[in-house]
Structure 1
Amino acid sequence: MRSAPTWDPRQYLRHSGHRTRPFLDLLARIPEPPTTDGGGPRIADIGCGAGNVTALLGHRWPTARITGFDNSPEMLARAEEEFAGPTAGGGRLDFRAGDAAHWTPDEPYDLIVSNAALHWVPGHAGLFARWIDGLSPGGTFAFQVPANFNAPSHRLLADLCAAPRWRDRLGGQGHGVTAVLEPADYLARLTELGCPADVWETTYLQLLTGDDPVLDWVKGTTLRPVLTELATGSPSDAAERDAFLDEYRALLREAYPPGERGTVFPFRRLFAVAGKPR
């Protein structure tokens, strides 16, 4: 049985501008939430990570009571340190341990949102019904997921993990994050639950800079399970990790050659905003 990935908030946030942009695009399409008790809206952020986008919810709705849920102790510690506490408008941000695969609303929420997390949860569309049941009437469920799994960055990683040198230890890695459906499937799932939905996709042409920027990008996300598998702390494993990264780096350099102003890294993302009828 493979270990759960160990997350590195600092590595993840090295590309925070590009990682935050899809959430801002999602946030712009979320309608004003109702309030369940006459105060600020109650909001849940599923898979909140380091808390940086949870804080953006607080900026958008400064009277809201917002809870971010994540199953990574490293990410939660960073979120607590940087963002937990009262907001300028009298609301509050707090963070709790919670796994999206098992999370169930324990009170009515006016908005349930998830940013770049559900692709780690196989069968996540089957969870939509109980999350929507946990919305107050007129509430919104909104999410954004990467859909870049057929890109060279992912295909090369999967092929390398399956190569003779690595397959005994890493075989199957690189294929695990394939839980994302097509946009029409998400639209069908949400409308079947009685929720009018807006579903769309965008491919961002991200211009990354620095040495081996695509490798640096995937070190924060897609590569985490592989790095976790190779990180036992022994000198021999450190050498194995470096050897694997050298092979992967060479493949990425060929697939994503740098230009005069940086390296173009196309990235497809899917979005959905669904409203619960009043």
Structure 2
Amino acid sequence: MRSTPSPAQQPEPGTVHWDPAQYLRFADERTRPLHDLLARVPALPHEPAPTVLDIGCGPGNSTAVLRRRWPGGRLTGIDSSPEMLATARAEGEPTADYLLADARGYDPADARPDLVVSNATLQWVDGHLDLLPRWAAALKPGAVLAFQVPGNFDAPSHTLLAGLRRSPRWRDLLGGDATRAGVHRPETYLDALAGAHCTPDVWETTYLTLLAGPDPVLEWVKGTALRPVLGRLAAPEDRAAFLAEYGALLREAYPAGPHGTVFPFRRIFAVAVRY
């Protein structure tokens, strides 16, 4: 699994360059929804040694959670970022296999998995609703597809970013497509999974995360939503100016309180059992 991927598996040009260290600054907060997701996963067909795919494994923090849940499982992490996979292999979950591949082109059918997990990845994938029937078709009866995605695209952290990148100062550099994809309503995922020969369990939760330190919301989004934007700002002075302007907007939208900064974060969850 660690060999060089075929051309069909290579990430497409313009792939976001991820910063594992920045992403992992809030590792506990980012991993908590995965624990809540896995709590609803039933027994798998080949317990205690199932075949598990972690699609969008990032720096391996999610793969490490899966290893703790299934110590004897055959785990494979799939991600399109070489930087993230390097961290996953070295620090995240070194005993897993890893594959450099884009979620849109990867076909899990050959693995015949007992569980396909995608933790906060599908929001980056345009047309990801079309992937769900293909992923579900790879499952044997009783096997499970489980994913969670952020549902906060209407929150100030995202709407302020969208408005700023379209402002006169930044629109020529950033255009209207500096962020990608998005998510659907929970009902849409429920219908898609039910139509893919699965019994779906779909729900949503809003986490009230208490963040510490100066500009904590800015530091959070630097690891996720800001990555495509910063990738288009090649000049250091442009990057610094944009971060200063966006940071000021975030401080107003998310004022610091006596115990830290409250950052509400809605997430959508789905667990689907193939029948």
TM-score range, shorter chain: over 0.9
Q: CA deviation at 1:107?
A: 2.2
Q: CA deviation at 1:174?
A: 4.8
Matched, 1:137 2:146: no
Q: CA deviation at 1:83?
A: 3.8
Change (3 A) 1:10 1:254: same
The more displaced of 167-176 and 218-227 is 167-176
Match of 1:94 among 73, 97, 100: 97
Contact 2:20 2:83 in 1 (8 A): yes
2:165 equivalent in structure 1: 161
Q: CA deviation at 1:59?
A: 0.7
Secondary structure in structure 1 of the residue aligned to 2:140: strand
The ranges of structure 1 where at least 4 consecutive aligned residues each deviate by more than 3 angstroms after the TM superposition are 83-86
Q: Report the Cα distance in structure 1 between the residues aligned to 2:242 and 2:94, rounded to whole angstroms.
A: 41
Secondary structure in structure 1 of the residue aligned to 2:54: strand
Match of 2:230 among 227, 231, 234: 227
Match of 2:265 among 241, 258, 267: 267
Q: Report the Cα distance in structure 2 between the residues aligned to 1:72 and 1:252, rounded to whole angstroms.
A: 28
Matched, 1:32 2:43: yes
Change (3 A) 1:84 1:175: closer
1:242 equivalent in structure 2: 240
2:29 equivalent in structure 1: 18
Secondary structure in structure 1 of the residue aligned to 2:264: strand
1:61 equivalent in structure 2: 70
Task: Please list the CA deviations of residues 121-169 of structure 1 after superposition, one character each: whole Å capped at 9, or x if unmatched.
Answer: 0111111111111112210000000011000010010111001111011
Match of 1:75 among 60, 67, 84: 84
Task: Please list the CA deviations of residues 156-211 of structure 1 after superposition, one character each: whole Å capped at 9, or x if unmatched.
Answer: 10111001111011011455242x11001100111111211100000001110100
Q: Report the Cα distance in structure 2 between the residues aligned to 1:20 and 1:79, rounded to whole angstroms.
A: 14
Q: Report the Cα distance in structure 2 between the residues aligned to 1:16 and 1:146, rounded to whole angstroms.
A: 15
Q: How does 1:119-138 map to 2 (within 5 A)?
A: 119-138=123-142
Q: Report the Cα distance in structure 2 between the residues aligned to 1:102 and 1:2, rounded to whole angstroms.
A: 14
Secondary structure in structure 2 of the residue aligned to 1:43: strand
Match of 1:184 among 184, 187, 191: 187
Q: Report the Cα distance in structure 2 between the residues aligned to 1:175 and 1:128, rounded to whole angstroms.
A: 22
Q: CA deviation at 1:4?
A: 2.0
Match of 2:199 among 165, 179, 196: 196
Q: Report the Cα distance in structure 2 between the residues aligned to 1:243 and 1:273, rounded to whole angstroms.
A: 42
Change (3 A) 1:191 1:247: same
Q: Report the Cα distance in structure 1 between the residues aligned to 2:67 and 2:180, rounded to whole angstroms.
A: 33
Q: Report the Cα distance in structure 2 between the residues aligned to 1:202 and 1:8, rounded to whole angstroms.
A: 27
For 2:99, the aligned partner's letter is R
Q: CA deviation at 1:85?
A: 4.2
Q: Report the Cα distance in structure 2 between the residues aligned to 1:80 and 1:264, rounded to whole angstroms.
A: 33
RMSD: 1.5
1:90 equivalent in structure 2: none
Match of 1:255 among 241, 253, 257: 253
Q: Report the Cα distance in structure 2 between the residues aligned to 1:34 and 1:2, rounded to whole angstroms.
A: 38
For 1:50, the aligned partner's letter is P
Q: Report the Cα distance in structure 1 between the residues aligned to 2:207 and 2:270, rounded to whole angstroms.
A: 17
1:89 equivalent in structure 2: none
Change (3 A) 1:252 1:261: same
Contact 1:22 1:144 in 2 (8 A): yes
Query: What's the TM-score once normalised by structure 1's chain length?
Result: 0.91
Task: Please list the CA deviations of residues 239-272 of structure 1 after superposition, one character each: whole Å capped at 9, or x if unmatched.
Answer: 1110111110111111110000000110000000
Q: CA deviation at 1:24?
A: 0.5
Change (3 A) 1:204 1:39: closer
For 2:211, the aligned partner's letter is L
For 1:4, the aligned partner's letter is T
Among the aligned pairs, what percent are the same residue?
A: 57
2:54 equivalent in structure 1: 45
Structure 2 unaligned residues grouped into runs of 5+: 1-11
Query: What's the TM-score once normalised by structure 2's chain length?
Result: 0.92
Change (3 A) 1:215 1:2: farther
